[in-house]
Every structure is written in C-alpha cells, then in structure tokens.
C-alpha cells in the first residue's frame, strides 16, 4: 500500500503526519512515542547510523561523527566524511527522511512506497529546493510537492483573511503574509533569514553559562567536553524558561560544580538583538505586503518551537499592536503538509498558491557598453505569484554568431540587484545551431517557475525555431554519478534510533 505523508523536515526537529480514516490529519509519533524527532544523525560506523534523540545525545561525546542543523547547508556543496564515507547535506537529510518513514511505517504497521509533501521554508531558493528533492529521492520517497512552511501552517489553521505567519524554528526564521480564502492560501509576501533560530538562543545561553562558570571556578579543565555538555544542556534550560520565571542549573567539570541562577529577564536580554532582527525582517515583509495591496492583517500566527519563548509573543504584540495566536507551534506545519498530501494524492486539486522566493533573471552583455557591461536582468521577481512566467527578447552580439550562452541567475542577497556579484548562477547552457545572421538577431528567453518552485528556461531563435531547454535545476548540486553513489550509501546504511 502506498503511504501518503506530510513531512516537516526541520532544522532541529522533524515530524510526520498523515490523514487518518476520519479525514483529519494526525501526527505519527516516532518509535520512542514522541511527536517530533531531532534532525540529528550519528554515524556509528561506515554502514550504520542513528537518527533522533540518541544521535543528539551522542553529539557531546562524538562531535566528529554527529551531524546537526544540516538543513542550514542544503543547497551548498558542504562535504562531510564519516568513518571514511563521503556525505553531502542531501545524503544526511535522506538518512533523516528514511528514519522518519521507517517510524511512520512502524507506527501504522504498514510497508511499501511513500509519497509525501515535504515542507521547506518560504524563502528557500531553487538550490535548496532541489537539494530537498534530491534528499527525498535518495530516501526513495516520491515528492508530491515541496510546500512552503507558512502555507502549510495556514492550511492547517484554515481561518480566513490576511494572516502573518511568524515562524521561528530551530535554525531558520521566516515571516510570510498570506491571504486565506475558501479556495486556499495565497502568499502575498515572504521574507526570512536562514541562519536565525532557536539554536542562536541556545548558543547565547551556552556562552552565558560557560562565562558564569569561569567567573566562579576559572577555566574548566576539560574545556571542549565541558562546553559541549553545557551546550547540550542549554536547550533544555531555554525550554524550561518558557514556563518558569526562574531556573537553577548546576554545571560540572570534573569535581568542580557551579550553580547558576537564571531568570527570564536574563534570557530576554541575551536574545534581545535576535528578537529585533526577526521584527525588522517582519516589518520588511509587511511593507512588501502593503505594496501588494494587503495593508491590514486579520491575524498573526506564531509557528515554530522557538515561538514558545514568551519574549517572542510579547515583542510581536508590542511591535504590531495585535496579540498573536500561538497554537500547536511545533505541529501546525506538519499537519498542514499532511492535509495537502492527502489532497494531492486524492483529487490532485491545487489550492496552495505561493510566490517566487527570489528574483530570477538572465545575464546580458550590453554590446553598446565599451567595457562589455554584464548585468542580470530579472524576468521573474521576488513575490510574483507562482506559477510565474516571463519572456525577454535579447539580440546576438556578433555578426554570424553561431552559438549563444544562456546563464540564469538567482538573487543572492536580500534586495534584488542587477549587479552580477549580487546574484548567483543557477543554470547555464549554450544555444547552438544559430543561422548565419547579423548581430542583433533576436533570441527569446523564457523563464518559468512552476507552482512548487522549479525553474525551467527556454532560449529560442524565432526564425528557425532552434531551441535550448534547461531543466537541470542548478549548478553544483549533486551530479548524477555522485547521486548514484550517494543513493547506494544511503540505501546501504542500517539506521537505528
Ligand atoms: P522547530 O524547528 O519548529 O521544531 O523549532 C525547534 C526550536 O524550538 C528549537 O530551537 C527548540 O529548542 C525550540 N523550542 C521548542 N520548545 C521550546 C520551548 N518550550 N521554549 C523555547 N524554545 C523551544
């Protein structure tokens, strides 16, 4: 039987849900009976890995063979090696996915193929989305759709109107304005920071705890181990502080023990600039939404485990004059993904519309510029509704030019810019077989970004119909030989918990 799942592949925690016989989405607990699984992999040998809580527990003792926060590396060429075997962000994510799927099967008592909606942050670009697809493929999962996390959360809440989703997860922050109506959810504007999340509060707290220890007892004797242990404890301390005003924790190094008293104000001060960064990004997103005709919000929804920190709701409420809703912050995304997966696997109806996460354009050389000025002309723009399609008519530069190179760039920074260095190349190809024509012969370049964010490009010479089609999403993400090797590596691993 084919299993249809919603999967939230989170930076720090992941979760799986499915629609049950009653038609409602339910979270499928892991083998330990927990609703979420730490997105951590520990390589215990060349052929064995452990995923989840046990892997997270192994991190302080064996940091060289344990990977956490791998989602931050998605879409990069970050290489890793464990027990002599090469890994990539895709293969490590695939191992997490395999463990999640195995647990879902174990919980339901099923086996067989899996089709899934996997959620990704709204601001994930083509590279990161492609890396997520790769991870799913390596894990043997058929991807029904990569769904933007705030859209998933909105699908779960299902209330109408203009909604701001403020999503502070373990390692990523994103903020999105959506309009929800009976036809589905439509993203109006989105913004975010892929390197900002609960883990930053853990780091601040770790530094504070280590400094507090050093002030009383001097430098720890076993420093690396001490810092690693304190870092592992910091997250629990942070969570405890969400429900308590004070917390006392004892740090040990050999026979030395130091007790540190913490209160909520200390944590608030440690993270004040981090909160301000999220508010600044949220303001930017609201400005973009206003420009797109959504000046008022009906609701603010807090999503992501880190929004349980009381300082977040307080700051959001003070900044935007509205009390935010904090319901199921850890599970809204996965439950929405399960609903969407059920929809797609069943009727195949599309109700979730999203926007282009970053601007895309074509590299053009200005033949009138004596320096051969090269700029990126964006054809589809950040926050354009998906699917998006745009065509530009360019001209050949040289007399009798037989080939034309087509290079597609994606906006790299926060603000779209035509400067080549502010963009990164995502596709590259050569249109060949051009007729022997004068300079200025038109070439039509069409960019198409599909509903789930995949980019395809065609370059066409209209008089002959000679055409170049580019569909390999990106430069530099795993090539097919490496992909075959990684599939073998991932499939060959015994994965435990
Ligand atoms: P997510 O990526 O949405 O699973 O969020 C995970 C992040 O939420 C991690 O940084 C957790 O430490 C954090 N988190 C989970 N529960 C709490 C809590 N009760 N208080 C503060 N942070 C929490």
Instruction: Tell me whether residue 118 is exposed, middle or buried, using C-beta atoms within 10 angstroms of its C-beta: 0 to 12, 13 to 18, 19 or more.
Output: buried
Residue 138's pLDDT is 92
Q: How far, in Å, from the CA of 217 to the mean position of ligand 1?
A: 31
Distance CA 448, CA 387 (A): 7
Distance CA 273, CA 419 (A): 30
Residue 125's pLDDT is 80
Residue 475's pLDDT is 35
Report whether residue 239 contacts ligand 1, using a CB cutoff of 6 Å. yes
Where would I find the H helices in 192-258?
Answer: 198-217, 223-243
Report the DSSP beta bridge partners of residue 364. 375
Q: Is the peptide bond before 387 cis (omega within 30 degrees of 0)?
A: yes
First-to-last alpha carbon distance for the chain, in angstroms, is: 25
Distance CA 156, CA 332 (A): 6
Q: How far, in Å, from the CA of 32 to the mean position of ligand 1?
A: 19
pTM summary value: 0.72
Report whether residue 306 contacts ligand 1, using a CB cutoff of 6 Å. yes
Do residues 37 and 99 lie in contact, with contact meaning Cβ atoms separated by under 8 Å? Answer: yes
Largest Cα–Cα distance of the chain, in whole Å?
83
Q: How far, in Å, from the CA of 308 to the mean position of ligand 1?
A: 7
Q: How far, in Å, from the CA of 305 to the mean position of ligand 1?
A: 3
Cβ count within 10 A of residue 20 = 13
Question: What residue's CA is closest to ligand 1, atom 2?
Answer: 169
Cβ count within 10 A of residue 375 = 18
Residue 373's pLDDT is 79
Q: What torsion, rounded to 10 degrees, do the Cα atoms 91, 95, 101, 104 define?
A: -150
Q: Which of 238, 244, 331 for a ligand 1 pocket mutation test, highest count of atoms within 8 Å of Cβ?
A: 238
DSSP state letter for 122 = T
Distance CA 196, CA 471 (A): 31
Nearest-atom number in ligand 1 for the CA of 167 is 3
Do residues 59 and 42 lie in contact, with contact meaning Cβ atoms separated by under 8 Å? Answer: yes
Report whether residue 152 contacts ligand 1, using a CB cutoff of 6 Å. no
CB burial readout 302-318, b (16+ within 10 A) else e: bbbbbbbbbbbbebbee
Pairing mode, strands 161-168 and 299-303: parallel
Residue found under tokens 């977040």 = 312
Nearest-atom number in ligand 1 for the CA of 241 is 20
Distance CA 295, CA 178 (A): 12
Q: How far, in Å, from the CA of 20 to the mean position of ligand 1?
A: 27
Where would I find the H helices in 244-365?
Answer: 264-270, 272-291, 310-320, 332-345
Question: What residue's CA is closest to ligand 1, atom 22?
Answer: 306
Question: What residue's CA is closest to ligand 1, atom 4?
Answer: 13
Distance CA 396, CA 388 (A): 26
Q: What torsion, rounded to 10 degrees, do the Cα atoms 345, 447, 74, 100 define?
A: 0
Q: At CA 362, angle to CA 361 and CA 366, rounded to 5?
A: 125
Residue found under tokens 């989840």 = 52
Q: Which of 200, 231, 239 for a ligand 1 pocket mutation test, highest count of atoms within 8 Å of Cβ?
A: 239
**SS3 track for 11-46:** CCEEEEEEECCCCCEEECCCCCCCCCEECCEEEEEC
Q: Which of 234, 305, 336 for a ligand 1 pocket mutation test, highest count of atoms within 8 Å of Cβ?
A: 305
Residue 473's pLDDT is 44
Cβ count within 10 A of residue 46 = 13
How would you classify residue 45: left for phi > 0, otherwise alpha for psi between -120 and 50, otherwise beta? beta
Report whether residue 242 contacts ligand 1, using a CB cutoff of 6 Å. yes
Residue found under tokens 């992501």 = 304
Report whether residue 10 contacts ligand 1, using a CB cutoff of 6 Å. yes
Write the CA distances from 187 to 9, 201, 213, integer angstroms. 21, 29, 47
Q: How far, in Å, from the CA of 198 to the mean position of ligand 1?
A: 6
Q: Which of 52, 306, 313 for a ligand 1 pocket mutation test, highest count of atoms within 8 Å of Cβ?
A: 306
**Cβ neighbours of residue 229 closer than 8 Å, sequence gap 6 or more:** 60
Q: Domains, the chain, ranges and CATH?
A: 3-197+275-354 (3.30.420.40), 198-270 (3.90.640.10), 360-450+454-477 (2.60.34.10)
Alpha carbon 253 to chain centroid, angstroms: 37
Distance CA 423, CA 374 (A): 12
- Tens digit of each residue's pLDDT, the chain (497 residues): 889 999 999 988 999 999 998 889 999 999 999 999 999 999 999 999 999 999 999 998 899 999 999 998 998 989 999 999 999 999 999 999 999 999 999 999 999 999 999 999 887 887 898 899 999 999 999 999 898 888 898 888 767 789 999 999 888 898 999 988 776 678 889 888 878 999 999 999 999 999 999 999 999 999 999 999 999 899 999 999 999 999 999 999 999 999 999 999 999 999 999 999 999 999 999 999 999 899 899 999 999 899 999 999 999 999 999 999 887 888 999 999 999 999 888 854 444 456 777 789 999 876 666 556 788 999 998 878 778 899 999 888 888 888 888 899 988 777 788 888 888 888 888 888 888 888 888 999 999 987 766 788 899 999 888 888 876 543 333 455 667 777 788 888 888 76
Q: Which two three-digit tokens encode residue 137?
A: 């493929």
Residue found under tokens 């709204």 = 122
């Amino acid at each position: 039987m084919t299993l249809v799942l919603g999967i939230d592949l989170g930076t720090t925690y992941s979760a799986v849900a499915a629609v049950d016989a009653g038609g409602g989405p339910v979270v499928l607990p892991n083998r330990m009976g927990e609703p979420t699984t730490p997105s951590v992999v520990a390589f215990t040998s060349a052929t064995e890995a452990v995923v989840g809580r046990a892997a997270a527990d192994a991190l302080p003792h064996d940091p060289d063979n344990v990977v956490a926060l791998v989602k931050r590396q998605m879409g990069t060429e970050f290489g890793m090696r464990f027990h002599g075997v090469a890994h990539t962000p895709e293969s490590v994510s695939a191992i997490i996915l395999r463990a999640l799927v195995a647990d879902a099967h174990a919980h339901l008592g099923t086996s067989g193929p899996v089709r899934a909606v996997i959620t990704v942050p709204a601001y994930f670009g083509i590279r990161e989305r492609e890396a997520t697809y790769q991870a799913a493929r390596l894990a043997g999962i058929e991807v029904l759709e990569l769904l933007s996390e705030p859209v998933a959360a909105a699908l779960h809440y299902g209330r109408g109107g203009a909604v701001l989703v403020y999503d502070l997860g373990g390692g990523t922050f994103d903020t999105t304005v959506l309009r929800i109506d009976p036809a589905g959810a439509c993203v109006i504007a989105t913004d975010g920071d892929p390197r900002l999340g609960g883990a930053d509060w853990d780091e601040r707290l770790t530094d504070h705890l280590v400094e507090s220890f050093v002030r009383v007892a001097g430098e720890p004797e076993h420093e690396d181990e001490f810092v690693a242990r304190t870092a592992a404890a910091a997250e629990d301390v942070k969570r405890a502080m969400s429900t308590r005003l004070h917390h006392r924790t004892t740090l040990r190094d050999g026979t030395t023990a130091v007790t540190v008293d913490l209160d909520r104000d200390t944590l608030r001060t440690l993270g004040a600039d981090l909160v301000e960064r999220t508010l600044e990004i949220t303001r930017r997103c609201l400005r973009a939404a206003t420009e797109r005709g959504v000046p008022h919000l009906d609701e603010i929804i807090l999503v992501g485990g880190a929004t349980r920190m009381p300082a977040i709701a307080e700051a959001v409420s003070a900044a935007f004059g509205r009390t935010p809703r904090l319901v199921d912050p850890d599970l809204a995304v996965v439950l929405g993904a399960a609903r969407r997966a059920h929809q797609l696997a069943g009727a195949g109806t599309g109700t979730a519309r999203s926007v282009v996460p970053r601007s895309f354009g074509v590299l053009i050389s200005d033949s009138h510029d004596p320096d051969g000025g090269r700029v990126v002309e964006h054809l589809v723009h950040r926050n354009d509704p998906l699917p998006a399609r745009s065509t530009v008519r360019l001209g050949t530069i040289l007399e009798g030019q037989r080939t034309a190179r087509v290079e597609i760039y994606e906006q790299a920074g926060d603000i779209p810019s035509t400067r080549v260095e502010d963009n990164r190349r995502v596709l590259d190809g050569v249109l060949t077989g051009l007729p022997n024509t004068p300079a200025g012969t038109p070439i039509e370049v069409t960019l198409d970004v599909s509903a789930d964010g995949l980019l395809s490009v065609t370059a066409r010479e209209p008089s002959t119909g000679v055409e170049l089609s580019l569909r390999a999403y990106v430069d530099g993400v795993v090539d097919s030989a490496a992909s075959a090797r990684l599939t073998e590596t991932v499939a060959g691993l015994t994965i435990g918990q």
